[in-house]
């Protein structure tokens, strides 16, 4: 859009003469009723709220003229002059009209409550929709699941066909490694136990325990004890061999 078009849209029609006077008086009376009180207005406020339809200088002159006609009441606060609607010219509110307005207010209030409940329901549905994957996201998830399934089937295929995955020689090597390193573990644990008993023989049990904590010594965990009691370390498995 060109700058010229924007300028034309932003341009406000400036009122003059009687039109300007009627516009200002209408605005102040309407504002007084909406605030349910005789609110004071200055020329700057009125000109700004009318969006420049009446220039500030002209607004000041019109407000003074309306005050001279008795339509408004002029009040001075220091060097600033304000204008308020003349209460004597404001229409009295009959009881019937007040009742009608109150009834209308209650109806609008009930409608607002209904709309608020509807908004909450729609917001909840919107949250569910936003949390639901899109078609594109579902397509990606399906592709990923298919790839994972394919890999899993490829890994299961040798087992389903009866192929031996570990040869006898590999099993024998595993047994030999197990026997070797378990024997080394048992030997080192025995050396440490002997040395620790000599070092802490003269200490009370609590002090010996505190010393071990200070030195960062870690004892066997329940998992280690479980392995010792299990079939891998059973005496029936032979000299350090694994029971299969």
In a domain, 72, yes or no: yes
Whether residue 137 lies inside any domain: the answer is no
- Is 118 within the bounds of a domain? no
**Would you place residue 118 in the very low, low, confident or very high pLDDT band (cuts 50, 70, 90)?**
very high
pLDDT at 29: 77
Domain assignment of residue 185, given as a range: 168-237
Read off the pLDDT of each residue in 131-137 and give the average, rounded to a whole number: 88
Among the three residues 53, 74, 89, which one is the final residue of a domain in this structure? 89
Residue 161 counted as domain residue: no
pLDDT-based confidence at 3, cuts 50/70/90?
very low
Q: Residue 97 domain-assigned? A: no
Mean per-residue pLDDT, 24-41: 70
Structure confidence at residue 34 (pLDDT): 57
Task: Give the pLDDT mean for 159-179.
Answer: 83
Of 58, 89, 120, the one marking the end of a domain is 89
12 falls in which pLDDT band (50, 70, 90)?
low
Residue among 102, 101, 66 nearest 81 (CA)? 66
The overall pTM is greater than 0.85: no
Among 44, 49, 20, 19, which Cα is nearest to 34's?
49
Q: What is the DSSP letter of 86?
A: -
Identify the pLDDT of residue 149: 95
Report if residue 66 sits inside a domain: yes
Residue 104: exposed, middle, or buried by beta-carbon count in 10 A (0-12, 13-18, 19+)? exposed
Q: What's the CA gap between 176 and 231, in Å, rounded?
A: 16
What does the alpha-carbon distance between residue 244 and residue 242 come to, in Å, rounded to a whole number? 6
Residue 8 has pLDDT above 70, yes or no: no
What is the share, in percent, of the chain residues with pLDDT greater than 70? 85
Question: For 191-210, how does the pLDDT look when each residue is reduced to its tens digit (9 = 90+)?
Answer: 999 999 998 888 898 998 88
What is the chain's mean pLDDT, rounded?
A: 81
Is 219 inside a domain boundary?
yes
Quick check: 39 and 47 in contact, CB under 8 A? no
For position 80, which CATH number holds?
A: 1.10.10.10
Domains: count for the chain? 2
Burial environment of residue 43 by CB neighbours within 10 A (0 to 12, 13 to 18, 19 or more): buried
Among 89, 104, 130, give the residue marking a domain's end: 89
Beta bridge partners of 81: 76
Nearest Cα neighbor of 18 from 66, 74, 85, 83 is: 66
């Amino acid at each position: 859009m060109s700058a010229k078009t924007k300028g034309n849209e932003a341009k406000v029609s400036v009122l003059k003469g009687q039109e300007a006077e009627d516009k200002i008086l209408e605005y102040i009376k309407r504002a007084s009723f909406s605030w349910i009180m005789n609110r004071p207005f200055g020329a700057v406020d009125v000109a700004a709220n009318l969006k420049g339809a009446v220039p500030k200088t002209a607004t000041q002159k019109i407000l003074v003229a309306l005050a001279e006609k008795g339509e408004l009441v002029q009040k001075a606060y220091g060097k600033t002059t304000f204008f308020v609607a003349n209460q004597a010219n404001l229409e009295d509110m009959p009881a019937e009209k007040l009742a009608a307005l109150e009834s209308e207010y209650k109806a609008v209030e009930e409608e607002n409550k209904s709309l608020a409940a509807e908004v909450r329901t729609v917001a909840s549905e919107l949250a569910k929709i936003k949390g639901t994957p899109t078609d594109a996201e579902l397509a990606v998830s399906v592709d990923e699941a298919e790839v994972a399934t394919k890999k899993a089937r490829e890994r299961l295929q040798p087992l389903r066909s009866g192929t031996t995955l570990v040869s006898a020689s590999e099993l024998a090597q595993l047994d030999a490694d197990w026997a070797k390193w378990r024997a080394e573990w048992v030997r080192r644990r025995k050396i440490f136990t002997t040395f620790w008993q000599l070092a802490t023989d003269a200490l009370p049990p609590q002090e010996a325990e505190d010393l071990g904590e200070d030195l960062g010594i870690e004892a066997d965990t329940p998992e280690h004890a479980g392995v010792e009691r299990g079939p891998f370390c059973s005496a029936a498995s032979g000299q350090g061999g694994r029971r299969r």
